[in-house]
Structure 1
Amino acid sequence: MADNPTYDSTSIKILEGLEAVRKRPAMYIGSTGEMGLHHLVYEVVDNSVDEALAGHCTEINCVIHLDNSISIWDDGRGIPVDIHAGEGVSAAQVVLTKLHAGGKFDSNSYKVSGGLHGVGVSCVNALSEWLHLEIWRGGQTWEQDYRQGVPQAPLKATGKSGKKTGTKITFKADSTVMDTVEFNFDTISQRLRERAFLNKGLRINIADEREDPPKAHEFFYEGGIAEFIKHLNKGKQVLHEKPIYFEGERDMANDQGRVYMEIAFQYNDGYSETLFSFANNINTKDGGAHLTGFRTALTRTINWAGEQAGLFKDVKEKLSGDDVREGLTAVISVKLPQPQFEGQTKGKLNSDISGQVTQVINEKLQEYFDKNPAVMKRIVGKAIDAARAREAARKARDLTRRKGALDGVGLPGKLADCQEKDPTRCELFLVEGESAGGTAKGGRDRRYQAILPLRGKILNVEKARYDKMLGHEEIRCMITAMGTGIGKDDFDLAKLRYGKIIIMTDADVDGSHIRTLLLTFFYRHMQPLIDRGHVFVAQPPLFLIKKGKSEKYIKNEADFTKEILRRASDSISLEIEGKKVEGAEMRGFLASLDELVQATIRTERRMRDARVVEALLSQSLELDSRENFMEEANLLKLQELLNEVKLESKIVRDEEHSTYSLVFQDSTKAERVVGLELATSPEYRRTRALARAVAPLNKPPFFMVKDNGFREEVGDWRTLLARTKEEGTRDINVTRYKGLGEMNAEQLWDTTMNVEGRTLLRIDLKDLVETDEIFSTLMGDDVENRRKFIEENALDVRNLDI
């Protein structure tokens, strides 16, 4: 695939202007809500993916920043920077300010493009409060800033880039146009993962600086969808080591072109089906013709293979589709001209290609089974076991259905039902333990709140077959109480008896385990309840603060700190350099100090030396931007500070990027670097930003002053924060709750069940792949994988109740 070697301003074609985007954004990005917000990210990412498709990009990076701005950059060729003949400004400015301007509208610059359906990065620019463009091209770094789509100055060269090439766009969505500007990490991750495995060899990284510690994923699938199948089955026992993979092409009806298809699948010893389907790189989560063709061919071919091998001697009837898909992990990807989708979200493919998909799978899978008879026998054997279990499950399901068939008759005896008959107004609390259940029954509003106490820990359905699950008493009680039935044939969301299913467990290890078991059940067997927003987790308060007759409930650690600092500011003030600091100013200063403590802890984890972190808090240093690290004098200042605390270091120059860094050894004698990479890390940036924010008042010694004339000198900011917290907790009684049983019925109602004042956490599915992996890791059979997960995450735990 040969590209035009002269990718420059002449490659950029302009189709139309940008005037209407800010007035009618939904016309261009679908909505001004969360879907539209994330569409802005996809537009930028898809430009980088197109560079990869053209063979010029191997890595894409995405970082969500603390202020909900976001950066996306790649190692492609970089947007052309020369002057566009038709517009008189740089080609990059044309791309950023003209709707549908780009290099994909002829067949020279890009032979293949996945982003032709989009509206261009100019739309992103128009809907951004601000946007910063950085281009590395021709050995130079070029930069330009925009405000609401308007360039603030021409594109200009700001430094050398060495051999580095690519484009970086950082933007913050405009809150005056968008309904929400808060990005969801999991939603973006799902999209980026799909792009990575649909484009072999493309590495995509995403990080979220808002998390503590920062959350990050790396997506890289050298083997494409076959590699992705291995990822999905990681930690599971598979029936055959290598995924079954094949591809093929077929002519479409009525001379509409050819459809190209890729299919990969692998069986594991589990009981659930994991299936992803795509059409032209779009995730068709509602399936469609390609998925129908795959399922038809799979069922038909496995039945045919079993009959040919004589494996059905003891089987009364043919295997059903459910039987052959038990434990199946599959990905189907098709590419076709002019695909027809159903609905605005393109969730279902309507193009008539099911026959073509069925033909390819029939031929390729029969050929595979002929060459791999041992694998075929294992797959057919698992399907036969599933058929036998299906019959046992049918009997158990019929029993459950009979018990709950008649409008409340036969409901579980321990269910305290509500009086309201309208499901949209009803709530069902699934409560841990008979004792807490009794408290909840005493505290509820019986008009619309039902209580179902659960005894002990329910069955882990990740490890249990369908028939065993339906034989578990507590699970049968839940199914009967909710009224929806269970299973692909019987589940009916319209029969749900409660609009809200609320999990209410203790705030301890056992409570977390029970909550996870319940969520595993809902995810594996009643996923539509989560999809439609019916499943919630109650949020009981963590603290109760008492002083005399007054009581105040606090829901989390952050609010507890705020309350303590507020109380401290009522009884004391600060004197800093002779100036009195009190009230809101004092609380803001102390809150920033508290956040600075957490930020320095995170930076110390990276640097492994508190002396370095302490030095980096100095306001005399200029080590925040790339330009700062291009000046050796800035690193010499840091070296001087480290010399004062007896820490040896050396300064090293990076000739390729014309920058300097400081190198030292931590306590383990490992080499650590203060350089450009550290300066771009979220923990470093936040630490330095907070240090600057508190600098005007962070001038010890401090004096704590009370109205009675008491005056105490404090020598440093950490001691000041600790002493202030002590003052805030003086003369009050703090109760830290761990269990629901520690509250009486009135307290439980006031804090957790009363719709007027409670907080509920709604369970959403944002990233199906990540969700599936977490449930498999935490609840599956692979002990080693679970141990590794615990080791990797243990240090991030702040508070652990055992």
Structure 2
Amino acid sequence: MNEKKIQEITEQASIAETEEYGAESIKILKGLSAVRVRPAMYIGSTGIDGLHHLVYEVVDNSVDEALAGFCTNIEVIIHRDGSCTVIDNGRGIPTEPHPGDPEGRTAAEIVLTELHAGGKFESKAYKISGGLHGVGVSVVNALSEWLEVEIKQNGFVYQQRFERGVPTGPLTVVGKTKGRGTKITFKPDAEIFETTEFHYDVLAQRLRELAFLNKGLQISITDEITAKSQTFLYKGGIISFVEHLNKNKTPIHPKPIYVSGEKEGISVEIALQYNDGYAENIYTFANNINTREGGTHLVGFKSALTRTANSYGTSSGILKEGKESISGEDIREGLTAVISVKLPNPQFEGQTKMKLGNSEVKGLVESITNEALSTYFEENPSVAKKIIEKAIQAARAREAARKARELTRRKGVLEDTGLPGKLADCSEKDPARSELFIVEGDSAGGSAKQGRDRRFQAILPLRGKILNVEKARFDKMLTSDEIKTLITALGTGIGAGDFDALKSRYHKIILMTDADVDGAHIRTLLLTFFYRQMPELIERGYLYIAQPPLFRVKRGKTERYVQNEAELMEMLFELAAEDIQVSTPTGLIGGKKLVPYLKKISSYEKIMEWFDKRRKDPELISLLLMSNIEKTVFKSREKLASLLEDIKKRIPNIKHSEIDFDEEQEAYSVNIKRHNYKMMLSVPFIQSPEFKEIMQMHKELTEVFGMPPYKLRIKEETKEAVSLKDLLSIATEASKKGLTIQRYKGLGEMNPQQLWETTMDPEKRALLQVSIEDSVKADEIFTVLMGDQVEPRKEFIVKHALEARNIDV
């Protein structure tokens, strides 16, 4: 060893001594502490994806029960308080004490508190299981503010509660049951996650996929905040999936082609059907996981499809031998396909772990597909001929598009479009700092050009409505001047082999259209173009929609633009608090101190509206809140009967009331009907997140304001409010005096300075980022709204007409 090396080792040793690196420096994270310290290691991120991963982990356990043959029904419920419930009718997590645990804990508690504890590490309980990370429900428990588990098993109902992964008590029997299954309710921890708001569409996409991939399994989702709900049950499995994807398109053969096979413990299922459109739609799955980046199963399928089509085309004489051949791109035009493989040990690769890497799968999928498709083409020559002729047309169109692209490049496009609206580029050359506003019309474009910051904001005005690319083939699309201008301005190129998202000249592409019917149509045409031709720009988060303010509020000589109704209400509360004082048992409340209470009353009334929409009687709920109802009331028939008598005295016109006994809860319940309201007062009702939330609000508001009536002093005038709702109404009406509130219509009403201040200034504007949360639903909506078939579009408009907002007709 040379002297230099010895000196280095000596120096390192002396550094180690001075830093006192010993046994005490090693920190041991016990139990689930490690998960809370490094959550991204277990669920991928603490953003929106990680949040939804919590639900997937719980649902995957239920799906594994279905794969094992014990579960037929799964329910997912998003609650108003931000919690989520997953219920299944599987075997239930084992409740007996675990034989290997020195503390004598139940198997359920160990599953919920220990990492890598479960039934998937041996093939006895589960041969194939889903779950991308396989981290289990213990991680969900660790990253939740609280989690409650209810298990129905062996004739009993068991319950246990955890807070941030720590049990608050043992697993206890709370009732009897004839059913079985597991119910897990958890609330994601706001200390861990950047957002704790579940997105219905994201969850619905995943649950729909799982229902398609597991035929006969019923999965439902309910969002109690928005009242959205769906039930997914597909007895045809992935054949139903393909039919669903093509339901608003025109298939060129009536029934999907189904391919299946199993070799070496790996099962392969493929369903495919062609439609008369031009988009390629292939969904791939491995063990129920959506492999969005494809992988070896997709490569094998594509290879077999191209080879089989060329082989049959040549042998049948449709293709001229040696002179004609079909490329993979051509044969996949108008194809809708679903590929599902199930294998014991899947290997995922890629940055997002969404790409299947098992090399043996490629050859397996290829041979199974090749054999099945060859047989199908021989047995169904008329279908095979239609498919191959469609591919030949696609090849000719591709050649025409190639020539059009070359012609476009030679012309230099932007200089020769003949469009009156030209790109006003920015001086910034770094795409990450550059923005492109795609503006409707020349007048708004002129204002935008004058109002922008020329350093980093480019403006591209488009005249009229661009071509609907949903109905146009690629070569026709390239003849549209507006689209050619748009493609060249973006700099990405277009089409397979030519498009490159990394060449985008702007990392913020902002659609800025009016809030009227025409503006909405133009925005939809542009969204169709980006979704069908440049989806990667959406996936990278480059596409945005400008959000001009909805209201202009004037008071004297000052005016203010308000973004939305929630912001308007907040403004009115602040104005009300300047002039109003409310009498309370402890004195007067007014000024800034009153604002949070007005907000709370507003939230309280919104929950009351929520109950009202679900036929839950607000008057009855108010009475229950004032009586401070507790669970013990339902344990005694006498107490419940006494409460019912009191309700009847205070609330007239009760049509029906009947007391029943609930064996599962070991408690009584009462059904009450009045007018259009129908309610069951029971333990589950008063323990529901919504009732708990409103009860807590009522308690806090009562502690401050006391019971009605409430006295308000408005400047020199005194008024009386008979309820919280009345108090809120008086306050907001008083705040509107002297105000002019105008519903804001469009960009054309703004001068350049106003457009900059409200819609373009990065410090003040609001942008809506476009994302694909449910790709199946997105494809369906674009097909319905922009496709050839009129009837589905008519049905969509009739169904959703009352949901339209902020449209100036």
Query: Does the TM-score normalized on the shorter chain lie above 0.5?
Result: yes
1:335 to 338, 342, 346: 342
Q: Of 151, 163, 172, which residue of structure 2 is paired with 1:147?
A: 163
Correspondence 1:566 to 2:574: yes
> 1:732 and 1:59, CA in 2 relative to 1: closer, same or farther beyond 3 A?
same
- Judge conservation of contact 1:631–1:660 (CA < 8 Å) in 2: no
Matched AA of 1:163: K
SS at match of 2:731: helix
- Give yes or no for contact 1:50–1:115 (8 Å, CA) kept in 2: no
Provide structure 2 residue ranges, at least 5 long, that are not aligned to the other structure: 1-29
Contact 1:629 1:661 survives alignment (8 Å): no
Q: Is the 8 A contact 2:417 2:481 kept in 1?
A: no
Matching residue within 17, 21, 43 for 2:35: 21
Cα deviation, 1:420-448, whole Å, max 9, x if unaligned, reads: 22222211100111111111111011122
2:217 to 197, 202, 205: 202
The residue number in structure 2 matching 1:420 is 428
Please state how far the C-alpha of 1:534 moved relative to its aligned partner.
Answer: 1.0
Q: Is the 8 A contact 2:43 2:133 kept in 1?
A: no
Shift of 1:68: 2.6
- The equivalent residue for 2:106 is 90
Task: State the Cα distance separating 1:682 from its structure 2 match.
Answer: 7.5
Distance apart, 1:627 and its partner CA: 7.3
Superposed, 1:620-659 pairs within 5 Å as 620=625, 633-634=639-640, 637=643, 641=647, 644-651=651-658, 653=660, 657=664, 659=668
How far 1:64 sits from its partner (Å)?
Answer: 2.6
1:225 partner letter: I
The AA in structure 2 aligned to 1:367 is T
Q: 2:124 aligns with which of 104, 108, 128?
A: 108
What is the deviation of 1:691? 4.8
CA contact (8 A) 1:397 1:470 kept: yes
Alignment of 1:118-267 (within 5 A): 118-160=134-176, 162-210=177-225, 213-250=226-263, 257-267=264-274
Aligned with residue 674 of structure 1, among 680, 687, 703: 680
The aligned runs of 1:723-802 (5 Å cut-off) are: 723-797=730-804, 800-802=807-809
Cα distance in structure 2, aligned partners of 1:625 and 1:766: 41
Partner SS, residue 463 of structure 1: coil
Give how far 1:530 is off. Answer: 0.7
Q: Matches of 1:798 and 1:533 in 2, distance apart?
A: 25
1:413-470 CA distance string (max 9 Å, x none): 6211222222222111001111111111110111221111122222222222222222
Contact 2:201–2:773 under 8 Å retained in 1:
yes
Q: Is residue 517 from structure 1 mapped to residue 521 from structure 2 by the alignment? A: no
Aligned partner of 1:618 in structure 2 is: 623
CA contact (8 A) 1:622 1:628 kept: no
DSSP 3-state at the match of 2:60: helix
1:200-224 CA-to-partner distances (Å, cap 9, x unmatched) read 21122223334xx233332222221
Please state whether the residue corresponding to 2:476 is helix, strand or coil: helix
Residue 115 of structure 1 and its aligned partner are, at CA, apart by 4.6
CA-to-aligned-CA distance 1:538-562 (integer Å, 9 cap, x gap): 1111122222333322111001001
Deviations 1:548-578 (A, max 9, x none): 3333221110010010111011012123568
CA apart distance, 1:164:
2.0
Looking at structure 2, the residues matched to 613 and 180 of structure 1 have their Cα atoms a distance apart, in angstroms, of 31
- 1:308 deviates by 3.4
Give the secondary structure class of the aligned counterpart of 1:461: coil
Letter in 2 for 1:743: M
Indicate conservation of the 8 Å contact 1:403/1:480, yes or no: no
CA distance in 2, matches of 1:35, 1:646: 49
Rounded to whole Å, the distance in 2 between the matches of 1:680 and 1:330 is 45
Among 488, 507, 516, the residue aligned to 2:515 = 507
Counterpart residue identity of residue 448, structure 2 = A
Contact kept, 8 Å, 1:95 with 1:102, in 2: the verdict is yes
The whole-number CA distance in structure 1 between the counterparts of 2:781 and 2:690 is 26
- Counterpart secondary structure, 1:200: coil
Q: Tell me which residue corresponds to 2:608.
A: 600
Task: Show CA shifts across 1:99-128 (max 9, x none).
Answer: 212233334333443359612222222222
1:790 positional shift: 3.2
Segment of structure 1 superposing worse, 115-124 or 133-142:
115-124
Gapped runs of 5+ residues in structure 1? Answer: 1-15, 251-256
Q: TM-score, normalised by structure 2?
A: 0.88
Q: What secondary structure sits across from 2:461 in the alignment?
A: strand
Mapped to 1, the partners of 2:157 and 2:725 lie a distance apart of 41
* Contact 2:515-2:806 at 8 Å conserved across structures: no
Q: Which amino acid aligns with 2:399?
A: E
Match of 1:56 among 56, 67, 70: 70
Match of 1:305 among 300, 312, 324: 312
Over 3 Å counting, the alpha-carbon distance change for 1:627 and 1:716 in structure 2 is: closer
CA distance in 2, matches of 1:264, 1:755: 47
Q: 3-state SS of the aligned residue for 2:282?
A: strand
In structure 2, the residue matched to 1:318 is 325
**Bigger mean CA deviation after superposition, 227-236 or 214-223:** 214-223
TM-aligned CA deviation for residue 595 of structure 1: 3.2
Q: 1:72 aligns with which of 75, 82, 86?
A: 86
| SS of residue paired to 2:232 | strand
How far, CA to CA, are the matches of 1:514 and 1:227 in structure 2?
33
- 1:617 alignment partner, SS class: helix
Rounded to whole Å, the distance in 1 between the matches of 2:572 and 2:323 is 71
In structure 1, C-alpha distance between the alignment counterparts of 2:635 and 2:747, rounded to whole Å: 57
How far did 1:524 drift? 0.5
Aligned residue identity for 1:81: T
**Root mean square deviation, CA, Å:** 3.0
Contact kept, 8 Å, 2:161 with 2:167, in 1: the verdict is yes
CA offsets per residue over residues 682-717 of structure 1, 9 Å max, x none? 77776666555544437333333133x221233344
Mapped contact 1:778–1:786 kept (Cα < 8 A): yes
Separation of aligned partners in 1, 2:302 and 2:697: 56
Count residues with an aligned counterpart.
770
CA 1:158/1:760 → structure 2, altered by over 3 Å: closer, same or farther? same
Q: How does 1:334-483 map to 2 (within 5 A)?
A: 334-352=341-359, 353-404=361-412, 414-483=422-491
1:143–1:563 distance in 2 versus 1, CA, 3 Å: same
Residue 554 of structure 2: aligned partner: 546
**Map of 1:265-276 to 2, 5 A cutoff?**
265-276=272-283
Q: In structure 2, what is the equivalent of residue 37 of structure 1?
A: 51
- Which among 534, 537, 543 is matched to residue 542 of structure 2? 534
Instruction: Give SS of 1:462's match.
Output: coil
Counterpart residue identity of residue 395, structure 1: K
Instruction: Select between 588-597 and 503-512 the one with higher mean Cα deviation.
Output: 588-597
Report the 3-state secondary structure (helix = DSSP H, G, I; strand = E; otherwise coil) of the residue aligned with 1:188.
Answer: helix
1:405 Cα shift?
7.3
Shift of 1:527: 0.6
Cα distance in structure 2, aligned partners of 1:337 and 1:107: 9
| Change over 3 Å in CA distance of 1:447–1:570 after alignment to 2 | same
Structure 1 residues 100, 479: closer, same or farther in 2, change over 3 A? same
